[in-house]
Amino acid sequence: MRRKNNLSPGKGRGLWRSAAPSSASGGLSRRRFIQRAAIAGGGLIAPLIAPPSALGLGGSVPPSERIVVGGLGIGPRGTHDLRWMLPEKDVQFVAVCDAQKSRREAVKRLVDRRYGNKDCKTYSNMRAFLAERTDIDALLIATGDRWHALAAIMAMRAGKDVYCEKPSCLTIAQGQAVVATAKRYGRIYQTGTQRLSEANFTFANELVRLGLLGEVHTVRAHIAPWDAAEMRHDWLPAEPLPPKDVVDWDEWLGPCPWRPYNSAYVRGGWRGFYDFHTSCIGEWGAHTFAQCQAAIGMTHTSPVEYRYVNNPYGDGMVARFADGVQMILNRGGWRGTAGGWHGSCGVCYEGTEGWVAVADGYSKPEVSNPALLGLFNKIVRDYMERTQRPMSHMRNWLDCIKSRRLTVANPEVMYHSMSTVHAANICMWLKRDLRFDPDRAVFPNDPEANRLRSRAMRAPWTI
């Protein structure tokens, strides 16, 4: 009997595996076919012909219980994620797809070196990759921003669970589509807001939830101190197009409007362009808005008012939630009478009885009352016991692939924090205050703002 999310309870592919049909061996996966053949031939001889790792001996995980993973668009950030993933004993990374030859070959070298073989396969065309690799259970997606939502949707439609880097959608409509796809296909999705799984940030969030700061009235969210909210709409000058095997330019552009090739784009120079990026607000706001909304219990919604600030960055913008709590966007290493931060992706929560501030690089958060730090270990431990979530974003995703529980950065959490990003951007683009209805995902009586909730996608790369 199949589950509603189209999972197979058969042990041959692991309890969490999708039940995608295979053309090999009369509908059996290769691993299941080999297992049945081994049983028919007599399991007693298996130890004589199989290495210990194939049997789950010596502390290894047997192949039937491993999560088979592939990658899409693995560049610098994706390589960081991959190095984080490869040590996990229940992961087998088998293939990478990337429009750039240099990047897919770099991933293959890294993976083959890790496993001591040459088995990692490479692909340049995503549609062919998804169609061919029905053996893959889950995908790590670390493309540029332009591809995140569409790649995640295509992967989930193909029966894959997804870990997708942030910012996870270019528009409000794309975020809605990711949520709908994950629900329809029963997929496990984690967006790469990894600070939701780090002890320092978790402690700060729990101080708010537990009421140890009193009634929280203000939260502050760090936005990136480069680029601007209003992005470029021009094109870089054309350069000779490289061979398709070196850079598949059409594949690289994906759903974005066509433009001439320029090597700066594929070296990371796409940031700051409207067609590719989510601005300085999305760059770090994808992290810090999710942090703030988790702390104040607003992962199911977004602010309802956005106040325009007359600077290029959105620095100092106030976004107000329906309950009156305000979130203030700060570009620099903000410090004030209620504390602050001195690192990247910082947040500060201010309540009637104190404040807490934390950013990357802190040994411990800063708090108005140092006695609160004495509760650090207990608060983090209690959170892990209550939620059954580890202090590892990647491990949380892998555990949820097996259990089919929601991840900490699930599609709804992603969508509502990214809706905040996009509403703040639209406020800056229109240069006026905005009201937003998060339940209907509309700007009431504001057709100009509503037109910016979505954008055209170049065929055939459409949702």
pLDDT in tens, 271-325: 999 999 999 999 999 999 999 999 999 999 999 999 999 999 999 999 999 999 9
Which pTM does this prediction carry? Answer: 0.88
Please classify residue 134 by burial: count the beta carbons closer than 10 Å to its beta carbon, then call 0-12 exposed, 13-18 middle and 19+ buried.
middle
* pLDDT of amino acid 234: 96
* pLDDT of amino acid 44: 39
pLDDT tens for 366-397 read 999 999 999 999 999 999 999 999 999 999 99
pLDDT for 440 beyond 90 = yes
Residue owning tokens 């009478």:
337
Task: Report residue 405 as tokens.
Answer: 């529980």
Average pLDDT for 34-61 = 48
pLDDT for 359 beyond 50 = yes
pLDDT bucket at 64, cuts 50 / 70 / 90: confident
Average pLDDT for 432-461 = 97
* pLDDT of amino acid 36: 43
pLDDT bucket at 58, cuts 50 / 70 / 90: low
* pLDDT of amino acid 371: 97
CATH numbers and ranges of domains, the chain: 11-194 (3.40.50.720), 195-229+278-389+412-453 (3.30.360)
pLDDT bucket at 186, cuts 50 / 70 / 90: very high
Average pLDDT for 200-224 = 98
Minimum mean pLDDT range among 58-67, 228-237, 365-374, 396-405: 58-67
* pLDDT of amino acid 5: 40
pLDDT for 2 beyond 80 = no
Average pLDDT for 175-199 = 98
pLDDT bucket at 41, cuts 50 / 70 / 90: very low
* pLDDT of amino acid 21: 35
Looking at per-residue pLDDT, the higher value among 264 and 65 belongs to: 264
Minimum mean pLDDT range among 20-24, 95-99, 215-219, 423-427: 20-24
pLDDT bucket at 455, cuts 50 / 70 / 90: very high
Average pLDDT for 396-419 = 98
SS (H, E, C) the chain: CCCCCCECCCHHHCCCCECCCCCHHHHCCHHHHHHHHHHHHCHHHHHHHCCHHHHCCCCCCCHHHCEEEEEECCCHHHHHHHHHHCCCCCEEEEEEECCEHHHHHHHHHHHHHHHCCCCCEEECCHHHHHHHCCCCCEEEECCCHHHHHHHHHHHHHCCCEEEECCCCCCCHHHHHHHHHHHHHHCCCEEECCHHHHCHHHHHHHHHHHCCCCCCEEEEEEECCCCCCCCCECCCCCCCCCCCCCCECHHHHHCCCCCCCCCHHHHHHHCCCECCCCCHHHHHHHHHHHHHHHHHCCCCCCCCCEEECCCCCCCCCCEEECCCCCEEEEECCCCEECCEECCCCCCEEEEECCEEEEECCCCCCCEECCHHHHHHHHHHHHHHHHHHCCCCCHHHHHHHHHHHCCCCCCCHHHHHHHHHHHHHHHHHHHHCCCEECECCCCECCCCHHHHHHHCCCCCCCCCC
pLDDT for 339 beyond 90 = no
Residue 16 and residue 226: Cα distance in Å, rounded? 41
* pLDDT of amino acid 332: 80
pLDDT bucket at 25, cuts 50 / 70 / 90: very low
pLDDT bucket at 336, cuts 50 / 70 / 90: low
* pLDDT of amino acid 62: 82
Mean pLDDT of the chain: 89
* pLDDT of amino acid 13: 41
